[in-house]
Amino acid sequence: MKDPIPLSIDDVVASLDRFDAILDARSPSEHGDDHLPGSSSAPVLDDSERAEVGTLHAQVGAFAARRRGAALVSRNIGRLLETALADKPPDWQPLVYCWRGGNRSGSLATVLARVGWRTSVLVGGYREFRRRVIADLAAWPSGLRFVVVAGRTGSAKSRILQALAAQGRQVLDLEAIGRHRGSVLGGLPDAPQPSQKRFESELWDAMRRFDPARPVFVESESKRVGRVHIPDALMRAIRGSSVVRIDMPLDARARFLVDDYAHFVADPASLFAQLDCLVELHGRELIAHWKSLADAGAWEAFVAALLQGHYDPAYDRSMQRNFSALDACEPVALGDFDPASIEGAAARVAAVGEPPAGA
């Protein structure tokens, strides 16, 4: 008769990519807030059932709550075996965890192990993983060599990072992980931002794969990417790193942004609601002028005016204040944002950060 194999957080981190599945026995809302990388939701109690058991514990007592919980857990594990886990082969090897590595993961892991699957359970559960994420995000950045890709808004920095990644370079794409473009107009229409915990877990998952001997390319960012904030140690390391500046003409940046923010062109009302957030900074008259350009369909003129009146001055002030290596940075000229131009700019950025052997 098999029993679950208890694993410490160190054991789990060392073998995180080797499990056939990682099952989160917590409720769906807990999983949605944050979870181990690659894990799927396999709740032994859903949110309403968890609330029911908690209320029973408070109003009636521990025994009644355990009895009710056991009945619900048994049904839910049975349902998992008949649905999500019905096609798993005999040599399938899952990892199971819950909040503290207690009853919920223990119940699921015990049943899976008794079925015959080699089942591991994370001792200390998600709580231990969260502690590990916090500790590693405080320690890792100082051991990495970052190369900051800077440039005014609309300089195609994100596309250059994507090209660098496609070329095999190490890239930390903070805007992709945060699912936000980092400005008042940076929200993505079809991708809500993650919670702060989820953002940090995804940062951790990206950073654990980096080779410290090679540079990590990252975009110049403020402390916040939308509503999530970059951990302090990572922000300090990025701001103290070497910088490569992308120089792109205003007209090309305007055309790029019209192309890249097509959802605002298709939904001016949403755009105008965001512009209203800038009234305190620029006054109603200037905001009304910007809106009139958009209303007239003069999108490139609208973007150019917004860049010159808001984004460029704010970006220049932020860069001068926060990036000590800015004055000594390498410029990379980018005339357009067609694929060949982006590939060429990425290659020049890579050469600055990771020059060829013997160079």
Which residues carry out catalysis?
98
170: enclosing H helix or E strand: strand 170-172
Nearest to 220 by CA among 135, 164, 278, 155: 155
Residue 96 and residue 120 in contact, taking contact as beta carbons nearer than 8 Å: yes
Domains and CATH numbers, the chain: 5-134 (3.40.250.10), 144-353 (3.40.50)
41: region left, alpha or beta (phi > 0 left; psi from -120 to 50 alpha): beta
| Dihedral angle sign, alpha carbons of residues 10, 13, 19, 21 | positive
Type of residue at 270: S
Both structure tokens of 86: 């019905």
Give every CB contact of residue 186 below 8 A, 6+ residues apart in sequence: 175, 180, 225, 226
Task: Output the tens digit of pLDDT for each of the chain's 359 residues.
Answer: 589 999 999 999 999 999 999 999 999 999 999 999 999 999 999 999 999 999 999 999 999 999 999 999 999 999 999 999 999 999 999 999 999 988 999 999 999 999 999 999 999 999 999 999 999 999 999 999 999 999 999 999 999 999 999 999 999 999 999 988 756 555 555 678 999 999 999 999 999 999 999 999 999 888 989 899 999 999 999 999 999 999 999 999 999 998 887 777 778 888 888 888 888 889 999 999 998 998 898 999 999 999 999 989 988 998 888 887 777 787 899 999 999 999 999 999 999 877 655 55
| Cα–Cα distance for residue pair 56/46, rounded to 1 Å | 15
The reply to whether the predicted model has a pTM over 0.85 is yes
